[in-house]
Structure 1
């Protein structure tokens, strides 16, 4: 007789820890500009799937840049397919700053250490451990499950999900929703355990600003100084206060977070003050504070080559993020803030996303978490950044963020992303595999 979904499974739990550790040992640092090699990790994933009798395809977009895709047939052919995706690349790590080797995958004191432990080889390992448990015990999900392990998410996704969507859309046929990173983890606020599940993402708007002027000697008066023009534009952008733009997901997040912490919040009330509402949430306000409006943060400056030479041009980079429906306002505002002497253009641009926070998929994630932690509060939220869900949205796939982890109060989850001494508790991985198993086994359409 098949085991019930989400049951205790010592082998699954051992494998999720082992796979996380072994994936970390495969250095897939993405330095940008094509400087990454995910193929060894893609082959590792394919081997673990093939061992369980699950056919997998390793698809190389360019030499060394590989993705792995597999499909598991569900028991109900009348239901749409569900995409489960995780990226294989990681951001670089400077070993001199770490207390452990960032690519040793060390398991010590109940914790798995290393680059990718949270972002996001932990989820890759959960995916593998869960589907291998199905194969071992004879269980099947209700829906077809498409697994995609992607390259290049930490840069532009050009060698990963972007390429898969453009070149192999047939692999995702029938998928109506996708599930990936940055949601379903424990967020501790005022003694309460909150589990934010992502049902939206702000859009990416990375910009380059260019100011031009008259080159000349640094000792001469120069009213056409490109550095001055650029600095003025950057200051205007950095100091600009963007207007509030609440999406349905963020409105629901404010309401649900208020309930979780015992504060009445009604975003539809006359004279609603969103900043006061966010402040009233205390620590929980961090989950929504960055998603109530557009943003643009100057991050890079480049000008000149010698102190006594006024350069003829100066450039800057700005990390812009756009709420759903906010692109037109964002671009008009940038035109005004940069003024007539500074040009701007997109370096990288991706769409914002919004999914239904009352869909069967969201309800399934909520139910799986509440069963595993009855004292937890599951709330929808919008990610301030972005994931591969943006690329998969081009195929009509609605994206959710759900990498379930029960974390202790002293663990700073968000600090682990791209941080020093990135790590994940073993117990959190085991919890995640159990919750993911329960959700994927029973989710309906």
Structure 2
């Protein structure tokens, strides 16, 4: 399609001009596109942001494809041919959409893209227009320098990650699988961020967790049917009571401790780096190890077991009428290797009188932490931070990796952010006053470019 030239005015950094290819400046510019995803197919649309990226790529000499189920829900995909096309290719995926923001709660306009006080401010700054900007900056610098990576690199700037992916990654995989032909591995969000920790002896430790696995996303809609009637006259089958009893069992279920290889490695390697011993043979030992990890223990705490959380309820329309139908939505997350047993447990917990259907069914992912791919990420981080402690981990949530994994692609969470000299950190993801340190984005872009050129 024809791509019209969008506005390309570069933002300023605390009053000074910034280079056109600066990742921080690009991130601020991208934030100014309102790409809010409201869920259930409702969105401000990714089109203008996608067109901006496609125009910049086309002007640099690339041949980007602007694709989507509708113009408003556009994604951008471009393949950069490598020097050795017999090697398995690499996919870099980053999403353009963001979660909603409530402007009245923010200290500045969520879509202003302001750079000040050492931060890039705005919705999507850290989730994940920073990675979009770092990737775009890398491609533009390659074009300017005439750099060609060793292997094919396919970059997908996708729509709709913050909902179901049906307008983004899932749609691309279903409708254009040829775009990902020959791809051996993929990197995406949630990994490679510097985490400043303190060891048992007081020494500083910089931990860089890289995601090698994700819990599966099993979103269910459950339904109870019963006898409708007058509120003053109890009925033999009350749909609301049946549903509430089922949700109580599901929501309060004590899921068993399950240490997958990624989780075990994460706890063992992190506690070792911090100078603590880890006894992972008992539940009390696991809990003690997680507590000793400090901030790094947060993600471990939600990945040592599956979870089931009722989130939405629908029933009734009038206080004196007993409804004949009651429905609820449940967010279920299962660890790699537990999908079948998790659903069997859910069915037993729901009990009789409850039917269910999947709203979203994306299986867990698991890739090899001993692979060349992971090793290359570790090496890139160490070249830029020799003190880095790089460890594998399992994500508690989910990303577009689940869309690409069924193609046989090994998926990793690697969108690097370096340590900020003033110890600024990422703040406000999915919350208020989202921001990411400028220095972290700039150093992260250098690590990303290094990795993509040497993997």
TM tier, smaller: over 0.9
8 Å CA contact 2:229–2:323 kept in 1: the answer is yes
- How far did residue 410 of structure 1 move? 6.1
1:229 corresponds to: 242
Q: Which residue of the other structure, out of 116, 119, 123, is the alignment partner of 1:108?
A: 116
1:22 corresponds to: 29
1:391 corresponds to: 403
Equivalent-residue separation in structure 1 for 2:76 and 2:344 (angstroms): 41
- How far did residue 273 of structure 1 move? 4.2
Q: Which residue of the other structure, out of 44, 53, 57, is the alignment partner of 1:45?
A: 53
8 Å CA contact 1:338–1:344 kept in 2: the answer is no
1:193 corresponds to: 206
- How far did residue 89 of structure 1 move? 0.9
- How far did residue 91 of structure 1 move? 1.1
Q: Which residue of the other structure, out of 357, 365, 387, is the alignment partner of 1:353?
A: 365
1:344 aligns with 2:356: yes
Q: Which residue of the other structure, out of 379, 391, 407, is the alignment partner of 1:379?
A: 391
Equivalent-residue separation in structure 2 for 1:411 and 1:205 (angstroms): 35
Equivalent-residue separation in structure 1 for 2:48 and 2:349 (angstroms): 46
What is the SS of the residue equivalent to 2:358? strand
Residue 174 and residue 233 in structure 1: after superposition, are their counterparts in 2 closer, same or farther (change >3 A)? same
Equivalent-residue separation in structure 1 for 2:325 and 2:283 (angstroms): 45
Indicate the RMSD between aligned Cα atoms, in angstroms. Answer: 2.0
Equivalent-residue separation in structure 2 for 1:29 and 1:11 (angstroms): 27
Residue 107 and residue 282 in structure 1: after superposition, are their counterparts in 2 closer, same or farther (change >3 A)? closer
1:138 aligns with 2:150: no
8 Å CA contact 2:313–2:329 kept in 1: the answer is yes
1:212 aligns with 2:225: yes
What is the SS of the residue equivalent to 1:156? coil
Report which stretch shifted further, 227-236 or 402-411.
402-411
Equivalent-residue separation in structure 2 for 1:70 and 1:52 (angstroms): 12
What is the SS of the residue equivalent to 1:288? helix
2:38 corresponds to: 31
What is the SS of the residue equivalent to 1:368? helix
2:346 corresponds to: 334
What is the SS of the residue equivalent to 1:31? strand
1:176 corresponds to: 184
Equivalent-residue separation in structure 2 for 1:419 and 1:372 (angstroms): 31
The TM-score, its normalising length taken from structure 2, stands at 0.90
1:88 corresponds to: 96
Unaligned ranges ≥5, structure 1: 1-9
Equivalent-residue separation in structure 2 for 1:24 and 1:203 (angstroms): 29
- How far did residue 13 of structure 1 move? 8.6
How many residue pairs match? The answer is: 432
The TM-score, its normalising length taken from structure 1, stands at 0.92
Equivalent-residue separation in structure 1 for 2:282 and 2:245 (angstroms): 37
2:442 corresponds to: 430
8 Å CA contact 1:165–1:394 kept in 2: the answer is no
